[in-house]
């Protein structure tokens, strides 16, 4: 067992964890933050995407011990003062989700990307979301949502 | 898809990592970005007894001007390189290729030292460093040594890295204004591994080709130089590219798998070499 | 003054489902934690076929945290019904007993031979490695034609054959298509069946025809790949003997029944809850062995048990879709008019029969004639066992396969006759109609206007310009060639009339239930038997109820997915929800209004006949000032202080609606592709889809369904395909190797619609869940073949991977180079599986 101390959605936690505990399981089962899900187990699908120090990472391919000392943001940490993050609003308004299982990861990957490239074109958005699979929407409305959130409501 | 239990050590410095490697020997594995290692641990195809985490070695995360070359710290994340201005200015092929690896979330974790140490011939960065004739700085119990890319990649998943050695830095040349580059990756999906990749670094000279360095991804057990194409292009006019590219697969030994037959990979290497050199000449 | 009522139906209301989903508050089955909950892990076979000669679980039991380890023999008496199959398509169907845990022989990679129950999932997984198994590997059968060959190894020895069933369209006089030599002129007679049947004389049609197109198409297996893997929590219900099963399922009501049939637990002691479900696409339309095991062990151990599959289990153990070999013959005259069609199908069952396995191909049988009106049709289907994962419903389930065959054949016919592919379709279309009209298989299509959708698609595509560009590229020898592919399709939705379903071997039960109740405060609860998992029923059903009741969608709460909360239901699959379940809501809400009228008349002291209802207000005809709101009426009905004599209190009305017919959406799709002839890579430049699903309740949701359906159809055409090696190992065992497409791989879609109401229900709605998946695969392949046709290329199998396309070009150019053999062995040789980055 190993002691870790990290911040998740602005709250500091300290826990003893087994080194092999995956970050996604620490979040889901240790902290009950069930907005982060497992989809593929092979770092392809992105359902488990969270932000580590503000950058998107796949929490199924990260041990909880590797997050020691870092800041994690899950979808539950996106709201501020009860207000949705603009990306959450954009997904809702553009019907960028159906079953919703990929949605938290998709939203977080998009939030992360817009920090790197605030004014992406459609092709760049599609490439930036290459690591997040959605089986319901065909992606078109997801792309529109990200465009809206980026202030490009074209 | 749960890994077998292991012990975990955090390396506080490169020397500490080397010491831990000495202590645990071949039971241990270095953990950098983890995006090669953790998936195979989850499939229980790898079960190291000890992981030595390099994640705290922030001092290995840098891009520095080395005069005629760039020094890139081994723990520099792919995404850092994709957005690094010095890299974009002096050796754009490295930043461009880093931005092609996996996907952005993978690039946020994966490191240049990790991908080179893994020595996967389907990896894009090994070919790029090979085409650049870059070098890899390795530190071990007996100090530091600098290994040429051509000598570093030895076989499939086998590198020149000794049991107690750690990659600390990658050095790539600054490309001058007469040198164009291209990395062409062929894959079915954007996030996939390259079915075939071609790295081309081409020097232009008085309207024709001065010299060309071409390295192939996924065409053998290691990154392979397309030497006969390079020879054919040396001093050749620009319209020689299509014909020269026809020998791109000479001396290669690509695998057949569910993505592509060896024959198709050979064909793609020829087509992609032509397109990569043409792109390099225009960039 | 009277204000016109706001119409919510037809408006793109943002979904009510979204807030929980975008904020991470959804309730997935894997979120459920119950006191004392244990975790279940499966020991799965690494062999496609082997005898188990030794099985010892004692090592697992010794590990800390392990509560139990079980073999099939120990639990055999707990599941007398095994894993049930609910489809019988032939009197002679061979239906094996499907044991949740096998006892003697494993029959596919991923078959379950023992299980462990432990305190947490890591411990359970570790303990599997302590189970000792000796296998005696046996040669497997991994493809259908080999399975039917003389002397083939038998998947189920007790049957003496690998044939599961033979289905011959239920008509007399058709020779045995399967056993006849390929060039035999087959005779056929017969009559129109009630739903599926052959008619006419296809043999005579073939002889009379100017041209007969004979082709073989392969419907490769595909993996449904809902992003949420399957999950189940079984819990002994406190207080009585029953079981609560939380399952990531599309079909809680069906599960309640079949779980009872499997285990013998009385149906009334079972409650099934479908929490938020992360996609299904047919793959969660099944009672799975893992669910039965979880229930049995929860009962046996007296504590909740959870099982969550990982993705490699999902790919090995959740049903696969498609899996057909289609031999088809299309006879036509030189003017393009079709004279007859006959179809021979081999349909891959896999190793066992899941809930609907034998019915999938059969339910699509009558759709092979597509949208074309001609005389002679015959079909035969053979179901075949193989040592592979069982197949079952995947989005479209039988209809995409049928549509692909006819639409590919229509293009071949056009090419053979040197005719425009749009024109050859037009010449065979049904004329527009709005009353049921039989197709060549006897299926009663409800309403069509095919000419309108095709015209619109051609207009949107700017077809003439595309052809001009294609010509330019051909003439200039551009390495990137342009292809234009058509698909005009129909499908069966609104499953379905109970009698018709029974005729398909599905027993019946095609109705749907709804309860609409108004609470004392005037708010509305709609309980629906449909079980949405992404389709947005909460929103659409609210729109329907709001319009009927004259309230707002926000006033309406939709309850679903719990057999206690909604006792009757037939769940969600086959694009049935709106045309059956939505109509049930519509009728139940109208019943509320009818009862409300009586109460309003009483309150207003008027006669019921004089009461008008509009915009949520009951008023007296001619005296609009005399009125009460529906909320007032709901309150009065609830308090029941002053109701008409003998009236039952409360506005609480139910409807169990059995539709009179299926519904038949239709559409015209045009795929525009750019084919890089040097690399074989296909890029979709545009995809135009003009669909007609009748009047639309929520256009935003309908477009979303089309987008997703198109994505899956394009995925089958270009990217996805299950690969097994010759030992029966699944090569595409993770998302690394199985090519579900991402955002960069798909185009934007150009959508439009026409509206041809169905005469089968009062809203005229048809359904849209599978349209894209059905229309897209032939449009995509037709476009690629169109691009390459100057080379003499006539067909490319799905998925049209770069290597396949390149190879087709090589072969067409006469550069065969032995690569074909490489490919043949490759698909059966196993990939080098790459992991990580």
C368-413 tens-digit pLDDT: 999 999 989 999 999 999 999 999 999 999 999 999 999 999 999 9
Among C625, C657, C689, the domain boundary falls at C657
Please give the sequence-ordered ranges of beta strands (E in DSSP) within C677-805, or none if there are none.
Answer: 682-692, 750-753
Indicate whether C331 and C437 sit together in one domain.
yes
Cβ-Cβ contacts under 8 Å, C815 against chain B: none
Cβ-Cβ contacts under 8 Å, A58 against chain B: 105-106, 109
Q: Which pLDDT band, with edges at 50, 70 and 90, does A107 fall under?
A: very high
CB of C831 within 8 Å of a chain B CB? The answer is yes
CATH for C606: 3.30.365.10
Yes or no: say if A137 and C704 are a contact pair by the CB < 8 Å rule: yes
pLDDT at residue C506, rounded to an integer = 84
Among C613, C629, C657, the domain boundary falls at C657
Q: Please give the structure tokens belonging to residue C359.
A: 């019915």
Predicted confidence (pLDDT) at residue C3 exceeds the cutoff of 50: no
CB of B103 within 8 Å of a chain A CB? The answer is yes
Predicted confidence (pLDDT) at residue C822 exceeds the cutoff of 80: no
- Asked if the Cβ–Cβ distance from C723 to B258 is below 8 Å, we say yes
- Coil, helix or strand for C749? coil
CB of C108 within 8 Å of a chain B CB? The answer is no
Indicate whether A17 and A63 sit together in one domain.
yes
- Which CATH architecture group holds B179-282? 2-Layer Sandwich (3.30)
Q: For A126-135, C114-123, C402-411, C434-443, which range has the lowest pLDDT when averaged over its residues? A: C434-443
Indicate whether A70 and A6 sit together in one domain.
yes
- Asked if the Cβ–Cβ distance from C711 to A139 is below 8 Å, we say yes
Which residue shows structure tokens 């005037």?
C522
- Asked if the Cβ–Cβ distance from C736 to A42 is below 8 Å, we say yes
CA distance C691 to C706: 9
Angle at B70 between CA B65 and CA B75, to 5 degrees: 105
Yes or no: say if C375 and C340 are a contact pair by the CB < 8 Å rule: yes
A80 assigned to some structural domain: no
- Asked if the Cβ–Cβ distance from A135 to C30 is below 8 Å, we say no
A23 assigned to some structural domain: yes
Indicate whether C624 and C685 sit together in one domain.
no
Domain extent at residue C542: 18-25+511-657
CATH for A132: 1.10.150.120
> Angle C699-718/A140-149 helices, nearest 10 degrees?
120
Q: Which pLDDT band, with edges at 50, 70 and 90, does C824 fall under?
A: very low
pLDDT at residue C816, rounded to an integer = 53
- Asked if the Cβ–Cβ distance from C837 to B102 is below 8 Å, we say yes
Indicate whether C357 and C260 sit together in one domain.
no
Task: Search chain C and give the residue with CA nearest A27.
Answer: C31
Indicate whether A91 and A60 sit together in one domain.
no
Q: State the average pLDDT over residues C522-528.
A: 98
Tens-digit pLDDT string for chain B (283 aa): 899 999 999 999 999 999 999 999 999 999 999 999 999 999 999 999 999 999 999 999 999 999 999 999 999 999 999 999 999 999 999 999 999 999 999 999 999 999 999 999 899 999 999 999 999 999 999 999 999 999 999 999 999 999 999 999 999 999 999 999 999 999 999 999 999 999 999 999 988 999 999 999 999 999 999 999 999 999 999 999 999 999 999 999 999 988 899 999 999 999 999 999 999 999 8
* Paired strand residues for C21: none
- Give residue ranges of B with CB < 8 Å to any C CB: 1-2, 4-5, 33, 35-40, 43, 45, 101-102, 106, 110, 115, 120, 122-123, 186, 188-193, 195, 255-264, 267-268, 271-272
Indicate whether C329 and C278 sit together in one domain.
no
Indicate whether A104 and A67 sit together in one domain.
no
Indicate whether A69 and A116 sit together in one domain.
no
A31 assigned to some structural domain: yes
Indicate whether C367 and C473 sit together in one domain.
yes
Q: Please give the structure tokens belonging to residue C803.
A: 């290597």
Which conformational region is residue C245 in: left (phi greater than 0), alpha (psi within -120 to 50 degrees), or beta? beta
Predicted confidence (pLDDT) at residue C470 exceeds the cutoff of 50: yes
Indicate whether C638 and C616 sit together in one domain.
yes
Q: How many CB pairs under 8 A join A and C?
A: 181
Domain B7-53 has what CATH class? Answer: alpha beta
Indicate whether A41 and A100 sit together in one domain.
no
Cβ-Cβ contacts under 8 Å, B104 against chain A: 56, 109, 112-113, 116, 128, 130-131
Residue B173: CB atoms within 10 A of its CB come to 17
- Asked if the Cβ–Cβ distance from A55 to B108 is below 8 Å, we say yes
Q: Please give the structure tokens belonging to residue C692.
A: 């007609």
- How many angstroms from the chain centroid is the CA of residue C306? 27
Q: Measure in Å the smallest separation between the Cα of B203 and chain C Cα atoms.
A: 26
Per residue in C580-623, pLDDT (tens digit) is 999 999 999 999 999 999 999 999 999 999 999 999 999 999 99
Q: Which of A4, A18, A20, A125 to mutate to test the interface with B (most CBs of B within 10 A)?
A: A20
- Asked if the Cβ–Cβ distance from A19 to B42 is below 8 Å, we say no
Task: Search chain A and give the residue with CA nearest B39.
Answer: A42
Among A74, A97, A118, the domain boundary falls at A74
Q: Measure in Å the smallest separation between the Cα of C736 and chain B Cα atoms.
A: 7
Burial C715-734 (b: 16+ CB within 10 A, else e): bbbbbbbbbbbbbbbbbbbb
Indicate whether C357 and C458 sit together in one domain.
yes
Q: Which pLDDT band, with edges at 50, 70 and 90, does C203 fall under?
A: confident
Indicate whether C336 and C280 sit together in one domain.
no
- Asked if the Cβ–Cβ distance from B42 to A131 is below 8 Å, we say no
Indicate whether A53 and A90 sit together in one domain.
no
Q: Which pLDDT band, with edges at 50, 70 and 90, does C425 fall under?
A: very high
Give me the CATH code for the B58-173 domain, please.
3.30.465.10
Q: What is the DSSP string of C552-578?
A: -GGGEEEE-SBTTTS-----S-TT-II
Domain extent at residue A20: 2-74
Which conformational region is residue C625 in: left (phi greater than 0), alpha (psi within -120 to 50 degrees), or beta? alpha
CB of A73 within 8 Å of a chain B CB? The answer is no
The beta-carbon neighbor of C836 closest among B1, B36, B255 is B36
* Paired strand residues for C488: C668
- How many angstroms from the chain centroid is the CA of residue C455? 29
CA distance C231 to C319: 14
- Asked if the Cβ–Cβ distance from A79 to C23 is below 8 Å, we say yes
Indicate whether A14 and A64 sit together in one domain.
yes
Ranges of each domain in chain B: 7-53, 58-173, 179-282
Residue C73: CB atoms within 10 A of its CB come to 13
- Asked if the Cβ–Cβ distance from B34 to A66 is below 8 Å, we say yes
Pick from C190, C166, C148: which is nearest to C90 by CA? C166
Cβ-Cβ contacts under 8 Å, B37 against chain C: 836
Total domains in the fold of chain C: 3
- Asked if the Cβ–Cβ distance from B101 to C836 is below 8 Å, we say no
Q: Which of B78, B105, B192 to mutate to test the interface with A (most CBs of A within 10 A)?
A: B105
Total domains in the fold of chain A: 2
Q: Which of A19, A20, A40 to mutate to test the interface with C (most CBs of C within 10 A)?
A: A40
Pick from C330, C357, C310, C378: which is nearest to C168 by CA? C378
Indicate whether C342 and C442 sit together in one domain.
yes
Radius of gyration of chain A (CA): 15
Per residue in C691-748, pLDDT (tens digit) is 999 999 999 999 999 999 999 999 999 999 999 999 999 999 999 999 999 999 999 9
Residue C5: CB atoms within 10 A of its CB come to 14
Indicate whether A46 and A16 sit together in one domain.
yes
Indicate whether C566 and C633 sit together in one domain.
yes
Among C317, C345, C375, the domain boundary falls at C317
Yes or no: say if A25 and A68 are a contact pair by the CB < 8 Å rule: no
pLDDT at residue C197, rounded to an integer = 53
Indicate whether A21 and A44 sit together in one domain.
yes
Cβ-Cβ contacts under 8 Å, C276 against chain A: 99-100
Cβ-Cβ contacts under 8 Å, A95 against chain C: 12, 14-15, 700-701, 703-704
A79 assigned to some structural domain: no
Question: Is residue C115 reached through a cis peptide bond, with omega within 30 degrees of 0 on the bond before it?
Answer: no
Q: Which pLDDT band, with edges at 50, 70 and 90, does C323 fall under?
A: very high
pLDDT at residue A152, rounded to an integer = 56
- Asked if the Cβ–Cβ distance from C826 to B189 is below 8 Å, we say no
Task: Search chain C and give the residue with CA nearest A137.
Answer: C708
* Paired strand residues for C42: C115
HSE-CB of C489 using CA atoms within 13 angstroms: 33
Indicate whether C309 and C377 sit together in one domain.
no
């Amino acid at each position: 067992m190993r002691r870790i101390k990290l911040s998740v959605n602005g709250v500091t936690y300290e826990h003893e964890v087994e080194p092999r505990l995956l970050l996604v399981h620490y979040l889901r089962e240790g902290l009950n933050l069930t907005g982060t899900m497992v989809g593929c187990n092979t770092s392809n699908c992105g359902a488990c995407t969270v932000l580590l120090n503000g950058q998107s990472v796949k929490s199924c391919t990260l041990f909880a011990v590797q997050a020691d000392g870092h800041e994690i943001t899950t979808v539950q940490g996106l709201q501020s003062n009860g207000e949705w993050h603009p990306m959450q609003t954009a997904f809702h308004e553009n019907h960028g989700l159906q079953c919703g299982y990929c949605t938290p990861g998709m939203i977080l990957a998009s939030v992360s990307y817009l920090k790197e490239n605030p004014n992406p074109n459609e092709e760049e958005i599609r490439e930036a979301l290459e690591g997040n699979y959605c089986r319901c929407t065909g992606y078109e409305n997801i792309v529109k949502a990200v465009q809206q959130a980026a202030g490009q409501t074209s | 898809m749960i890994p077998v239990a292991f012990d975990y050590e955090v390396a506080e410095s490169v020397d500490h990592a080397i010491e831990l490697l000495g202590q645990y020997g071949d039971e241990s594995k270095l953990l950098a970005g983890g995006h090669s290692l953790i998936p195979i641990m989850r499939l229980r195809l790898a079960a190291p007894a000890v992981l030595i985490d390099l994640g705290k070695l922030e001092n290995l995360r840098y891009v520095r001007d080395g005069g005629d070359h760039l020094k890139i710290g081994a723990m520099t994340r792919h995404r850092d390189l994709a957005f690094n201005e010095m890299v974009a200015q002096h050796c754009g092929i490295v930043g461009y290729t880093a931005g092609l690896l996996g996907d952005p979330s993978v690039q946020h974790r994966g490191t240049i030292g990790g991908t080179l140490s893994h020595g996967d011939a389907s990896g894009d960065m090994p070919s790029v460093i090979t085409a650049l004739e870059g070098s890899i700085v390795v530190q071990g119990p007996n100090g530091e040594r600098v290994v040429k890319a051509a000598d570093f990649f030895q076989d499939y998943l086998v590198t020149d890295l000794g049991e107690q050695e750690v990659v600390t830095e990658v050095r790539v040349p600054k490309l001058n204004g007469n040198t164009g580059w291209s990395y062409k990756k062929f894959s079915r999906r954007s996030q996939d591994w390259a079915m075939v990749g071609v790295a081309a670094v081409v020097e232009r000279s008085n309207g024709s080709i001065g010299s060309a360095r071409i390295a192939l991804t996924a065409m053998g057990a290691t990154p392979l130089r397309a030497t006969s194409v390079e020879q054919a292009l040396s001093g050749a006019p620009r319209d020689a590219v299509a014909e020269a590219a026809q020998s791109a697969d000479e001396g290669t030994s690509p695998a057949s798998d569910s993505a592509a037959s060896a024959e198709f990979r050979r064909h793609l290497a020829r087509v992609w070499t032509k397109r990569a050199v043409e792109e390099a000449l225009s960039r | 003054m009277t204000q016109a009522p706001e119409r919510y139906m037809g408006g793109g209301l943002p979904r009510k489902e979204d807030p929980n989903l975008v904020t991470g508050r959804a309730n997935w089955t894997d979120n459920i934690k119950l006191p004392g909950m244990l975790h279940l892990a499966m020991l799965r076979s690494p062999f496609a076929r082997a005898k188990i000669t030794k099985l010892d679980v004692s090592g697992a039991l010794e590990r800390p945290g392990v509560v139990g380890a079980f073999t099939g023999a120990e639990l055999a008496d707990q599941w007398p019904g095994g894993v049930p199959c609910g489809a019988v398509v032939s009197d002679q169907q061979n239906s094996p007993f499907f044991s949740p845990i096998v006892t003697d022989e494993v029959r596919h990679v991923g078959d379950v031979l023992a299980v462990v129950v432990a305190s947490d999932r890591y411990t359970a997984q570790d303990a599997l490695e302590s189970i000792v198994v000796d296998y005696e590997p046996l040669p497997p059968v991994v493809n259908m034609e080999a399975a039917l060959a003389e002397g083939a190894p038998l998947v189920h020895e007790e049957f003496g054959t690998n044939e599961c069933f033979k289905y011959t369209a239920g008509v007399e006089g058709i020779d045995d298509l399967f056993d006849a030599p390929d060039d035999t002129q087959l005779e056929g007679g017969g009559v129109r069946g009630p739903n599926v049947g052959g008619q006419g004389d296809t043999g005579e049609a073939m002889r009379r025809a100017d041209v007969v197109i004979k082709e073989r198409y392969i419907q490769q297996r595909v993996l449904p790949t809902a992003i949420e893997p399957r999950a189940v929590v079984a819990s002994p219900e406190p207080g009585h003997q029953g079981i609560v099963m939380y399952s990531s399922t599309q079909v809680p009501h069906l599960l309640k029944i079949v779980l009872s049939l499997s285990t013998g637990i009385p149906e009334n002691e079972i409650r099934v809850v479908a929490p938020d479900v992360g996609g299904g696409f047919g793959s969660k339309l099944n009672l799975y062995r893992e669910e039965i095991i979880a229930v049995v062990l929860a009962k046996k151990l007296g504590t909740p048990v959870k099982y969550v599959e990982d993705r490699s289990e999902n790919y090995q153990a959740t049903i696969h879709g498609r899996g057909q070999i289609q031999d088809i013959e299309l006879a036509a005259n030189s003017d393009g008019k079709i004279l007859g069609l006959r179809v021979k199908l081999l349909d891959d069952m896999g190793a066992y029969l899941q809930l609907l396995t034998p019915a999938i191909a059969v339910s699509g049988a009558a759709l092979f004639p597509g949208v074309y009106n001609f005389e002679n049709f015959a079909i035969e289907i053979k179901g075949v066992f193989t040592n592979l994962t069982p197949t079952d419903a995947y989005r479209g389930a039988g209809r995409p396969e049928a549509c692909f065959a006819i639409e590919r054949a229509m293009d071949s016919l056009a090419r053979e006759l040197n005719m425009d592919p749009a024109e050859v379709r037009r010449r065979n279309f049904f004329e527009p109609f709005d009353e049921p009209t039989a197709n060549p298989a006897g299926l009663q299509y409800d309403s069509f206007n095919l000419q309108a959708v095709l015209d619109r698609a051609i207009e949107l595509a700017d077809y003439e310009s595309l052809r001009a560009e294609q010509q330019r590229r051909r003439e200039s020898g551009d390495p990137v060639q342009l292809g234009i592919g058509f698909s005009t399709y129909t499908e069966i939705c609104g499953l379905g009339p109970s009698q018709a379903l029974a005729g398909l071997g599905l027993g019946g039960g095609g109705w749907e239930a709804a309860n609409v109740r108004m609470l004392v405060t005037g708010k509305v609860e709609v309980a629906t038997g449909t079980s949405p998992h992404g389709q947005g029923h909460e929103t659409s059903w609210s729109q329907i109820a709001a319009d009927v009741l004259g309230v707002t969608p926000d006033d309406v709460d939709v309850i679903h997915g719990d057999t206690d909360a909604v006792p009757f239901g037939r769940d969600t699959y086959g694009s049935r929800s709106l045309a059956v379940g939505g109509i049930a809501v519509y009728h139940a809400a109208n019943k509320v209004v009818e009862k409300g009228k009586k109460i309003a008349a009483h309150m207003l002291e008027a006669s019921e006949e004089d009461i008008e209802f509009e915009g949520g207000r009951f008023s007296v005809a001619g005296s609009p000032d005399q009125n009460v709101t529906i909320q007032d009426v709901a309150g009065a009905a609830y308090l029941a202080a002053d109701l008409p004599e003998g009236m039952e209190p409360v506005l609480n009305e139910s409807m169990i609606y059995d539709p009179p017919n299926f519904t038949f959406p239709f559409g015209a799709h045009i795929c525009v592709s750019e084919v890089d002839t040097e690399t074989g890579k296909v890029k979709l430049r545009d995809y135009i889809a003009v669909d007609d699903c009748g009047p639309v309740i929520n256009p935003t949701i309908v477009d979303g369904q089309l987008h997703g359906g198109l994505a899956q159809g394009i995925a089958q055409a270009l990217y996805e395909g299950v690969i097994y090696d010759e030992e029966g190992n699944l090569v595409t065992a993770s998302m690394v190797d199985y090519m579900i497409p991402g955002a960069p791989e798909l185009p934007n879609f150009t959508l439009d619609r026409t509206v041809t109401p169905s005469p089968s229900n009062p809203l005229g709605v048809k359904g849209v869940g599978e349209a894209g998946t059905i229309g897209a695969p032939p449009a995509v392949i037709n476009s690629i073949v169109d691009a390459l046709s100057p080379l003499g290329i006539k067909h490319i199998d799905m998925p049209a991977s770069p290597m396949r396309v390149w190879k087709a070009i090589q072969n067409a150019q006469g550069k065969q180079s032995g690569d074909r053999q490489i490919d043949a062995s490759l698909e059966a040789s196993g990939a080098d599986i790459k992991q990580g980055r």
